[in-house]
Structure 1
Amino acid sequence: MKIIMITPAQPGSKAGNRATAERWELLLEKAGHSVSVVTQYNGEACDVFIALHAWRSVGAIRQIRQSWPDKPLIVALTGTDIYLHQHEFPEDTLYSMEEADALIGLHELVARDIPARFATKLVTLFQSAQGPEAYPLPQPALEDAGFGVCVIGHLREEKDSLRAAYAARLLPDDSRIQVWCAGKPHNEEWQRMAEQEMERNPRFRWLGELEQDETRQLMANSRLMVISSVMEGGANVVSEACRAGLPMIASDIPGNVGLLGKDYRGYFPVNDEKVLAEMLYRAEQHPDFLATLQAQVSKLAGRFVPEREQASLEQALNLAVQRCSERV
Structure 2
Amino acid sequence: MAEANNGNWQTAMRWARFLTPRYDVNIAASWTPVTGATPDLMIALHARRSAAVLAAFAEDHPDSPRVLVLTGTDLYRDIHDDPAAQASLAHADILVLLQEAGVAMLPPEHRSKARVIWQSAPSLPHVAPPPGAREFTFSMIGHLRPEKDPLTFMRAAQLAANPDARFIHIGGALDPQLGTAAEATAAADPRYQWMGNLAHDAARMALSCSDAMVIASLMEGGANVIIEAVTSGVPVLASDIDGNRGMLGSGYEGYFPVGDAPALAALMERCMLDPPFRERLHAQCAARAALFAPEAEQAAVLDLVDNLLIARPAGAN
| Partner secondary structure for residue 252 of structure 2 | coil
Amino acid at match of 2:290: G
Deviation, 1:163, is 1.3
Q: Is residue 104–residue 316 contact of structure 1 (8 Å, CA) maintained in 2?
A: no
Residue 7 (structure 1) aligns with: none
Identity of aligned residues (%): 35
Alignment of 1:72-221 (within 5 A): 72-89=65-82, 91-133=83-125, 137=127, 140=130, 144=133, 146-172=135-161, 174-221=162-209
Structure 2 match to 1:23: 14
Q: Is the counterpart of residue 282 in structure 1 residue 281 in structure 2?
A: no
Using the alignment, how far apart are the partners of 2:199 and 2:134 within structure 1?
22
Amino acid at match of 1:202: P
- Which residue pairs with 1:305 in the alignment? 293
RMSD (Å), alpha carbons: 2.0
Q: For residue 25 of structure 2, what is the aligned residue in structure 1? A: 35
Q: Which residue of 2 aligns with 1:242?
A: 230
Unaligned runs of 5+ in 2: none
**What is aligned with 1:57?**
50
Deviations 1:117-155 (A, max 9, x none): 11111110111101135x6x45759x9361100001111
Which shows bigger deviation, 41-50 or 197-206? 197-206
- How many Å separate the matches in 1 of 2:39 and 2:59? 14
Cα distance in 2 between the residues matched to 1:11 and 1:170: 36
TM normalised by structure 1 equals 0.89
Per the TM alignment, residue 323 of structure 1 is displaced from its structure 2 partner at its CA by: 6.8
Q: Distance in 1 between matches of 2:77 and 2:223?
A: 16
Which amino acid counterpart does residue 112 of structure 2 have in structure 1?
T
CA change 1:139–1:294 in 2 (3 A) is closer
> 2:115 aligns to what SS in structure 1?
strand
TM-score (norm. length: structure 2): 0.92
Q: Counterpart amino acid of 2:197?
A: E
Give the structure 1 partner of residue 239 of structure 2: 251
1:224 Cα deviation after fit: 0.5
* Corresponding residue of 1:69: 62
Aligned residue among 259, 275, 295 for 1:271:
259
1:12 deviates by 3.6
Ranges of 4+ aligned residues in structure 1 off by more than 3 Å: 137-141, 318-326
Mapped to 1, the partners of 2:294 and 2:63 lie a distance apart of 30
Cα distance in 2 between the residues matched to 1:192 and 1:317: 44
Give per-residue Cα distances to partners, 1:80-108, cap 9 Å, x unaligned.
1111211341x211111111111100111
User: Residues 223 and 247 of structure 1 are in contact (CA less than 8 Å); yes or no, is this contact kept in structure 2?
Assistant: yes
Structure 1 residue 297: Cα displacement? 0.9
Shift of 1:320: 3.9
Q: Is the 8 A contact 1:138 1:217 kept in 2?
A: no
Q: Matched residue of 1:34: which SS?
A: coil
Q: How many matched pairs? A: 312
Compute the displacement of 1:114 (Å): 1.2
Inter-partner Cα distance in structure 2 for 1:88 and 1:204: 38
C-alpha distance in 2, partners of 1:43/1:181?
42
Q: Is the 8 A contact 2:69 2:97 kept in 1?
A: yes
What's the offset of the Cα at 1:248? 0.5
Bigger mean CA offset, 11-20 vs 21-30: 11-20
Report which stretch shifted further, 309-318 or 269-278: 309-318
Question: 1:21 and 1:239, CA in 2 relative to 1: closer, same or farther beyond 3 A?
Answer: same
298, 301, 305: which is aligned to 1:317? Answer: 305
